[in-house]
Chains A and B, each alone.
Chain A
Amino acid sequence: MKKIISLSIVFLLIVSCGKDLPMSTFDTYGPIAEEQAFIFSIIFWAGMVVLVAVEAAIIYVYFKYRRRKNSNRKAAQFHGNTKLEILWTILPVVFLAIVSVPALSAIWNFATMPENPAVVVNVKGHQYWFEFQYPDLHVVTANELHIPVGKQVLINLDSNNVLHSFWIPKIAGKTDIIPNQTNQMWIQADHTGLYYGQCAEFCGESHALMRFRVIVDTDEDFAAWIDHQKTEAYVPNDPLEKEGYTIFMSPKAGCGGCHMIHGSKKAKGRIGPNLTHVGSRQHLAAGIMENTQDNLRQWIKDPGKIKPGNIMASQGAVYMDPNKALTDSEVIALASYLQSLK
């Protein structure tokens, strides 16, 4: 019912919904987003009543009391009307008091964290990507958040750099990520599928490119995904992939200084995204492009061009030092290796 009411706004605004609008806040797939759209629809319709009434009064005044040529009409001279003024002071108070009841109760609903969440995820905001840690399940991944369908998920939000904000429009409104203050929110998705998320607090040069995806799995799929994420990384046999592996682990390239590849002794970094199963992700570079060989090569070749201001481009040895720059064949080998990390 709530959903129908909120969807009615959508039609009113001549705005389509569904797959054409992957971040529409009206097209909801979880209890929080649904309640938020419902509360919005209450205040929306209340606001519409006021808007239409007052704009109609303004237009009426325009036609009724405008000065016309050859008219001797005199303006009425009155200074006010105390009864009327008291009335239009008190009426809005009553009006607001009524509509505020569901709005206030929802605040407490959202702020009450689940006691037994099915999953706990620690979200870390970075410039410009999201890290997802599942502390109880011992899994760390990046930019693609998997959650089980129909279950309450507790999210702890943290950052060791600037402010960010965690937002999945179709599932839940945003909560800011603030250094030195762990914020919490809970989410629940009632349908499996892929949902779009985006950083909603300005966080620097490539803020616009800090996106993520939420993949809502069935319980079995989620369990299988977790089991797979726990496994150690694939060790390649193919010569090209092997060459990529060697470059990745070499001190010259130094990739392992920032990136973690579970099972490897040389790649233990925690600054960049965990790449243990990067080949199994659908997107690259915080949800800005498909995970294909070609896109991956472009990304490795010149990450600063695709995502200006990112830390790999400004601090990675192969990008800072022209003597260490990757050759095209090295880029191809690295891309093949990373794609093999299913």
Chain B
Amino acid sequence: MTTIPLKLPFKINLSRPVNPTGIWDWITTTDHKKIGVLYGVTAFLMFITGGIEALLIRTQLAGPEMKIIAPEVYNQLFTMHATTMIFLGVMPLSAAFFNYIIPLQIGARDVAFPRLNAFSYWTFLFGALIMKSSWFLGGSPNAGWFGYAPITTTTFNAGHGIDFWVVGLQVLGVASLAASFNFIVTIINMRAPGMSFMRLPLFTWMTFITAILLVLAFPVITVALIELMLDRTFDFNFFNTSAGANPLLWQHLFWIFGHPEVYILILPAMGIVSEILPTFSKKPIFGYAAMVLAAAFIAFMGWLVWSHHMFTTGLGPIANSVFTITTMLIAVPTGVKMFNWIGTMWGGNIEFNTPTLFSVGFLSMFLIGGISGVMHSFSASDYQQQDTYFIVAHLHYVLFGGAIFGIFGGIYYWFPKITGRMYDEKMGKLNFWLMFIGQNLTFFPMHFIGMQGMPRRIFTYDANMGWAFWNGVETFSAYVIAFGVLFFMINMLKSWGNGPKAGDDPWDGRTLEWSISSPPPVYNFLDVPKVEALDDFWVKKQKGITKIKSKTKPKDIHLPQASYWPMLVALGLTIAAYGIIYNLVVCGLGIAMVLITVCAWSFEPVNEPDAH
């Protein structure tokens, strides 16, 4: 073990872990593939907890005037369900793909900042644990994932639930920001020679756009969260209505973040679908440039529509008209993407296996969510739909039928690459059909009961409202979805252990990740590939150019080394976060730990002094 003395007023020795094994390997790893797996497994477990919360909600609503779950607990459940699915489920599941796939698709050996990548993961994990620990520490946040002021202020919400939400989201925000900067820098700087921007695979493009959105959106909610934290912890008056605050400030800040956030959730899934459809149609993507431009336009327009979440707050007819128009406009690039996906399949020779089914499921479900989205872009009639189950139907068609279907398709698609083994196709199809039928029977009737006047976020309803039948159907179908997910888990666990060997290129793939072995070696590419076209790997296969013998020896390849510090910095942040809730001295200690560990991180030596 090499140690390098540092030029500090006091003398300390720092060393890096060398070839750690077992649990220490996972804790100190800076390998993007291992971090990707950690992200994926953690986020999936969180997705399961969010699903259990959803089932509890549906169970309470199965019939009118049910008393299975107490009102306060119900409010905590719907708050945590949304918070979990958005911040701990869909976003980190997308991040798992970013981590694992992006360096492989652009021909890189790792991300630009491997330790920062590890830090993102540990911060996400600890942020998730902060959020979820609230269930065991006196109750979870109970004001909805949108946390509209002033119900989140101490006047109306004295318990610690909201504090967990405020600090938990800030910690998760740090994780997302660090990861986003990392991927922006990686995609700009680490592309293989010849991989120009207009030769990037579409999933990489969507990741790039998503990361830019995140970097711009998260500061906005961080400002709102810090204001709320100051209110709650230090008696500031940002949202104190008795001191004259206008609580709409929160809504503006929240939705300026919140609407781009919707695209942060859906764009990665769109990227995944844009990989799967060409591969299994055996055709290039239809209108590559239009797909990129449409996504960029959607991302840009995402900043100009936030007030469509606030049509009923009395912003006046000018604002409502403007935001009606901007919201409708987003349908145009989204439509272009939809038509181009169908154009991609048109004339193809499409293999309808599990990833394709999930992708086509994505198209047909996201379409319904998109159309209902245009329906309530009309602010005049949205006065009737706002805060009803119609909106719940819409958002689940976008986020479940859309984002989750895309992500599930992506997991099946890249499973052979990640594990080197093939999943069980029959069980995969069963998983798809259960989820597809369950999704439609759960969320489609919500359109009906929404138009029949059922508001969101109510823990009970009267029998004479006429909503009982569809609610019963929805609850039953929610369990059908749960069974679908159960089959998914069985398939993954079974196939990861004993699935048949998949081979390097089981799908006759188009992008660089299929040109290397499955699972990929730690250094990814023996020689950094030279890219000459869009879908370079596919083009070369068509020309009959197969693997060239390399003279590079794996041991000569410099790779990022393991480090303790990313995890320790994240731990310091977590201690500081709990300190805000319980004791400011502890918070100070946590911040001190962050400062010390960040210094240690900065001065950490490389193990091989001759390495660059």
Question: In the complex the two chains form, is A61's CB within 8 Å of B457's CB?
Answer: no
Give the interface segment out of B89-97, B313-321, B416-424. B313-321
> Shortest CB–CB separation between residue B333 and chain A, in angstroms?
8
Segment at the interface with B among A205-213, A253-261, A270-278, A333-341: A205-213
Q: Does B227 contact A (CB under 8 A)?
A: no
A30 interface contact, C-beta 8 A: no
Q: In the complex, are the beta carbons of A75 and B281 less than 8 A apart?
A: yes
CB distance from A268 to the nearest CB of B (A): 22
Partner of A67, one of B314, B349, B374: B349
Q: What is the bound-complex CA distance between A201 and B144, given in angstroms?
A: 11
B379 CB contacts on chain A under 8 angstroms: 103, 107
Q: In the bound complex, do residue B343 and residue A84 qualify as a contact, i.e. CB atoms below 8 Å apart?
A: yes
Size of interface on B: residues with Cβ below 8 Å to A:
92
Contacting pair A66 B352 (CB below 8 A): yes
Question: Residue-by-residue, is B286-319 near A (CB-CB < 8 Å gives 1, otherwise 0)?
Answer: 1111100000000000000000000011101100
Query: With A and B bound together, what is the CA distance between A273 and B244 in angstroms?
Result: 25
Taking A173-B381, A178-B248, A183-B314 as contacts, is the C-beta distance between A208 and B387 under 8 angstroms? no
Q: Given A22-B465, A92-B335: A107 and B372 within 8 A (CB)?
A: no
Task: Tell whether B476 is near chain A: CB-to-CB under 8 Å.
Answer: no
Q: Is A93 an interface residue (CB 8 A)?
A: yes
For the complex, what is the distance from the CA of A160 to the CA of B244, rounded to whole Å? 11
Known: A36-B384, A43-B375, A79-B288. Contact between A15 and B247, CB under 8 A? no
Interface 1/0 per residue, A24-62 and B, CB below 8 Å? 111000000101110110011001001100110110011
Kindly state the separation between the CA atoms of A20 and B448 in the bound complex, as whole angstroms: 14
A77 vs B287: C-alpha distance in the bound complex, in angstroms? Answer: 12
| Count, chain A residues at interface, CB 8 A | 91
Stretch in contact with the other chain, from B42-50, B213-221, B360-368, B552-560: B360-368
Contact pick for A200, options B241, B352, B387, CB 8 Å = B387
In the complex, chain B residues whose CB is within 8 Å of the CB of A44:
375
| A11 part of interface (Cβ distance < 8 Å) | no
Q: Mark A286-318, 1 if CB is under 8 A from B, else 0.
A: 000000000000000000000011000000000
> By DSSP majority rule, is chain A's interface helix, strand, loop, or mixed?
mixed
Q: Name the A residues within 8 Å of B329 (CB-CB).
A: 93, 96
Choose from A23, A71, A100, A174 the contact partner of B465 (Cβ within 8 Å).
A23
Q: How far is the CA of A246 from the CA of B386 in the complex (A)?
A: 46
Chain B residues in 8 Å Cβ range of A163: 148, 150-151, 247
Would you call A141 an interface residue if the criterion is a C-beta within 8 Å of the partner chain's C-beta atoms?
no
Contact B448 A15 (CB under 8 A): yes
A206 to B70, CA, bound (A): 10
Residue in B closest to A201 when the chains form the complex, CB atoms: B387
Check B71 for interface membership: any CB of A closer than 8 A.
yes
| Most chain B beta-carbon contacts within 10 A, residue among A47, A51, A55 | A47
Q: Find out whether the CB atom of B387 lies under 8 angstroms from the CB atom of A77.
A: no
- In contact, A25 and B453 (Cβ under 8 angstroms): yes
With the chains together, A16 CA to B383 CA distance in Å? 22
Q: Could you tell me if B378 and A39 are in contact, using CB atoms closer than 8 angstroms?
A: yes
A22 touches B383 (CB 8 A): no
With the chains together, A23 CA to B455 CA distance in Å?
A: 10
Q: Looking across the interface, which residue of chain A has its beta carbon closest to that of B148?
A: A163
Question: In this complex, what residue of B is CB-closest to A173?
Answer: B383
Distance between Cα atoms of A40 and B282 in the complex (Å): 41
Q: Is the CB of B453 within 8 A of A62?
A: no
Residues in B neighbouring A179, C-beta threshold 8 A = 150, 241, 247
Cα–Cα distance between A61 and B455 once the two chains are bound (Å): 38
Contact B347 A175 (CB under 8 A): no
**CB closest chain-B residue, reference A74:** B349
Q: Judge whether B332 is part of the interface by a CB distance below 8 angstroms.
A: yes
**Cα of A104 to Cα of B151 in the assembled complex, Å:** 33
Q: How far is the CB of A58 from chain B (nearest CB, A)?
A: 5
Name the residue among A65, A165, A175 with the largest chain B CB count within 10 angstroms.
Answer: A65
Question: Are A204 and B335 closer than 8 Å at their CB atoms?
Answer: no
A54 / chain B contacts, CB cutoff of 8 Å: 338, 342, 367
Chain A residues near B347 (CB-CB < 8 A)? 65, 75-76, 78
A184 interface residue (CB < 8 Å to B): yes
| Cβ–Cβ contact B387 & A58, under 8 A | no
Assuming the contacts A75-B349, A84-B343, asked whether A165 and B387 have C-beta atoms less than 8 A apart, the reply is yes
Q: In this assembly, does B348 line the interface, its C-beta being within 8 Å of a C-beta of chain A?
A: yes
B457 touches A75 (CB 8 A): no
Chain B, range 330-364, C-beta contacts under 8 Å to A: 331-332, 335-336, 338-340, 342-343, 345-352, 360, 363-364
Whether B313 lies near A96 (C-beta < 8 A) is no
Q: How far is the CA of A27 from the CA of B567 in the complex (A)?
A: 59
Q: Is the CB of B284 within 8 A of A77?
A: yes
Contact among B248, B316, B340, B459 with A85 in the assembled complex (CB-CB below 8 Å): B340
- Report whether A50 and B371 are in contact in the complex, using a CB–CB cutoff of 8 Å: yes
Whether A79 lies near B284 (C-beta < 8 A) is yes
Pair A175/B454 contact, Cβ less than 8 Å:
no
Complex-state Cα separation, A161 to B71, whole angstroms: 20
A198 at the interface (CB under 8 A from B): yes
- Contact indicator A184/B314 (Cβ below 8 Å): yes
Are B332 and A175 interface neighbours, CB within 8 A? no
Say whether B70 contacts A308, CB under 8 Å.
yes
Task: Name B310's closest neighbour in chain A (CB-CB).
Answer: A176
> Which of the listed residues B342, B348, B455 has the most CB atoms from chain A within 10 Å of its own CB?
B455
Q: Separation in Å of the B313 CB from the closest CB of chain A?
A: 5
Residue in chain A with minimal CB distance to B458: A208
Contacts of B336 in A (CB 8 A): 85, 88-89
Assess whether B601 is interfacial by the CB under 8 Å rule: no
> B378–A40 contact, CB under 8 A?
yes
The answer to whether B371 and A174 have CB atoms under 8 Å apart is no
Contacts of B313 in A (CB 8 A): 176, 178, 183
Chain B residues within 8 Å of A51, by CB = 367-368, 371
A156-180 residues with Cβ-Cβ distance < 8 A to B are 157, 160-163, 165, 167, 169, 172-176, 178-180
B592: chain A residues within 8 A (beta carbon): none
The answer to whether A35 and B380 touch across the interface, beta carbons within 8 angstroms, is yes
B287 touches A85 (CB 8 A): yes
B453 touches A21 (CB 8 A): yes
For the complex, is A73 an interface residue (Cβ under 8 Å from B)? yes
Smallest CB gap from A196: residue in B: B453
> How far apart are the CA atoms of A16 and B469 in the complex, in Å?
12
Closest to B151 in A: A162
B143 at the A/B interface (Cβ < 8 Å)? Answer: yes
CB distance from A214 to the nearest CB of B (A): 13
Q: How far apart are the CA atoms of A201 and B282 in the complex, in Å?
A: 49
A203 within 8 A of B: yes
Whether B346 pairs with A178 at a CB distance below 8 angstroms is no
The reply on B500 being an interface residue by CB < 8 A is: no
Contact residues, B562-611 vs A (CB, 8 A) = none
Bound Cα distance from A312 to B512, whole angstroms: 67
B324 at interface, CB cutoff 8 A: yes
In the complex, A1 has a CB within 8 A of chain B:
no
- B457: contacting residue among A107, A167, A207, CB under 8 A: A207
Q: List 18 A-B contacts (CB under 8 A).
A: A15-B451, A36-B383, A37-B381, A47-B371, A61-B350, A75-B281, A76-B347, A79-B285, A85-B340, A96-B332, A163-B151, A174-B386, A176-B314, A179-B150, A179-B241, A201-B387, A202-B148, A203-B151
Q: Nearest 4 A-B pairs (CB), nearest first? A: A173-B383, A23-B453, A208-B458, A76-B347
Residues of A participating in the B interface, judged by any CB pair closer than 8 Å: 13, 15-16, 20-26, 33, 35-37, 39-40, 43-44, 47, 50-51, 54-55, 57-58, 61-62, 65-67, 71, 73-81, 84-85, 88-89, 92-93, 96, 100, 103-104, 106-111, 127, 157, 160-163, 165, 167, 169, 172-176, 178-181, 183-184, 196, 198-209, 308-309
* Extra contacts besides A75-B283, A181-B314 (15): CB < 8 Å: A21-B453, A24-B452, A24-B466, A65-B345, A74-B282, A80-B288, A92-B332, A103-B381, A107-B380, A163-B151, A173-B383, A175-B312, A206-B71, A207-B75, A308-B70
Using a CB–CB cutoff of 8 Å, the interface residues on chain B facing chain A are 70-72, 75, 142-144, 148, 150-151, 156, 241-242, 244-248, 281-290, 312-314, 316-317, 320-321, 324-325, 328-329, 331-332, 335-336, 338-340, 342-343, 345-352, 360, 363-364, 367-368, 371-372, 374-375, 378-388, 447-448, 451-461, 464-466
